[in-house]
């Protein structure tokens, strides 16, 4: 059950935080095209690669308008602090999931409140504005660098035609394929194998899908591989992030090296659920089902976005499943051969 905070209390806290921001100087701002919308991110400190690197391929210049705004604040670098009494007041109620809404649903809060570290993400759905505030950005877990603002973007798009999906996306000759699978099933490996072959790359962890137009959009230019898999992709050695050796998976930022193979927008033609089958001599495809594709993507999407079950019950079930396929892939013998069959 999602915790709720008194509407008037939340409103007052939001106004206090935004007033503090209004009095401070913005050091850097960038515009990003996310789907068909424009996101403005105002950084109150310099050196913002932690948040920028994964979405750098979506940057645009001189947009005519903006749809969403996010203020990003590193307290250690800026000296900007917020009153945390409201969180402390509701802490016992919030501690189970670190996620709450105001009683009317207008305001959303994600938070971590530790002894030496605080991370706040406040969203006002009415104004489509948000604040990311951290005691120290250097203390944010390294894996968060691969999908910045994911929970805020989910809230921004919650009542729109867009839906964020935990899955990979690739494209061939203008046709897109969503690759979805349970963790460890080969989703990331399949997407990178396609990139190493003839396909373009849309994303790995999260993609954005428009339920009406059937287009998917690139959110992040990051790929992830476990360390024992890195030897399979020698072309990516020069973009390994050496500082991430303490992580289960290595992050590969594909922009700018693969800028010409990153597809920002593509029509979805099929959903692919990869499976390991090392005994096969060749990769092959077999028909699948709507239920398998939804089961593959729903649990992790709901968990990572802290979304409700209705996300898939009423929205993601409308993904065009007329051409759903399932691939059994022999990763050991023929990684790149999946690039053509899965995308035609």
Please write down the HEC assignment for all residues of 23-82: CCCCCEEEEEEECCEEEEEEECCCCCHHHHHHHHHHEECCCCCCCEEEEEEEHHHHCCCC
What is the model's pLDDT at position 330? 36
Q: What is the pairing mode between strands 99-102 and 129-134?
A: unpaired
Query: Between 270 and 79, whose confidence is greater?
Result: 79
What is the model's pLDDT at position 344? 32
What is the model's pLDDT at position 153? 96
Mean pLDDT of the chain: 83
Which of 96-110, 252-266, 309-323 is predicted with the least confidence, judged by mean pLDDT? 309-323
What is the model's pLDDT at position 309? 54
Task: Record the pTM.
Answer: 0.86
Domain ranges of the chain: 3-160, 163-339
What is the C-alpha to C-alpha distance for residues 78 and 131, in angstroms, rounded to an integer?
14
Could you give the 3-state DSSP secondary structure of residue 238?
A: helix
What is the C-alpha to C-alpha distance for residues 238 and 214, in angstroms, rounded to an integer?
35
Residue 207 contacts residue 35 (beta carbons within 8 Å): no
What is the C-alpha to C-alpha distance for residues 24 and 159, in angstroms, rounded to an integer?
32
338 — pLDDT class (breaks 50, 70, 90): very low
What is the model's pLDDT at position 132? 97
229 — pLDDT class (breaks 50, 70, 90): confident
What is the model's pLDDT at position 247? 59
CATH number of 163-339: 3.40.50
Of 82, 66, 76, 77, nearest in space to 29 by CA: 66
Which of 181-185, 222-226, 282-286 is predicted with the least confidence, judged by mean pLDDT? 181-185
């Amino acid at each position: 059950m999602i915790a709720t905070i008194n509407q008037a209390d939340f409103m007052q806290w939001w106004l206090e935080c935004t007033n503090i921001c209004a009095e401070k100087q913005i050091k850097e701002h960038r515009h990003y095209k996310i789907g068909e919308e424009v996101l403005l991110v105002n950084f109150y400190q310099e050196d913002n690669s932690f948040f920028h690197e994964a979405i750098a391929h979506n940057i645009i210049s001189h947009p005519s308008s903006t749809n969403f705004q996010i203020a990003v604040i590193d307290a250690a670098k800026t000296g900007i602090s917020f009153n945390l009494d409201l969180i402390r007041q509701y802490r016992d109620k919030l501690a189970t999931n670190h996620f709450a809404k105001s009683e009317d649903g207008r305001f959303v809060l994600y938070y971590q409140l530790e002894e030496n570290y605080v991370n706040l993400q406040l969203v006002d759905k009415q104004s489509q504005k948000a604040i990311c505030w951290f005691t120290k950005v250097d203390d944010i877990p390294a894996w968060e660098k691969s999908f910045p603002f994911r929970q805020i973007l989910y809230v921004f798009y919650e009542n729109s035609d867009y839906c964020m999906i935990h899955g990979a996306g690739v494209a061939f000759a203008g046709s897109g394929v969503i690759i979805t699978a349970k963790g460890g099933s080969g989703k990331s490996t399949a997407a990178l194998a396609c990139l190493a072959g003839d396909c373009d790359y849309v994303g790995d962890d999260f993609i954005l899908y428009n339920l009406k137009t059937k287009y998917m959009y690139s959110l992040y230019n990051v790929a992830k591989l476990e360390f024992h898999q890195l030897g399979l992709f020698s072309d990516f050695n020069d973009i390994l992030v050496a500082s991430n050796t303490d992580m289960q998976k290595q992050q590969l930022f594909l922009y700018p090296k693969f800028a010409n193979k990153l597809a920002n927008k593509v029509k979805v033609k099929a959903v692919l659920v990869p499976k390991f089958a090392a005994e096969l001599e060749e990769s092959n495809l077999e028909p699948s089902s709507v239920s398998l594709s939804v089961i593959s993507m729903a649990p992790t999407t709901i968990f990572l976005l802290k979304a409700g079950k209705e996300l898939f019950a009423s929205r993601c079930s409308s993904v065009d499943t007329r051409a759903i396929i399932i691939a059994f892939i022999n990763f050991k013998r023929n990684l790149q051969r999946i690039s053509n069959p899965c995308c035609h």
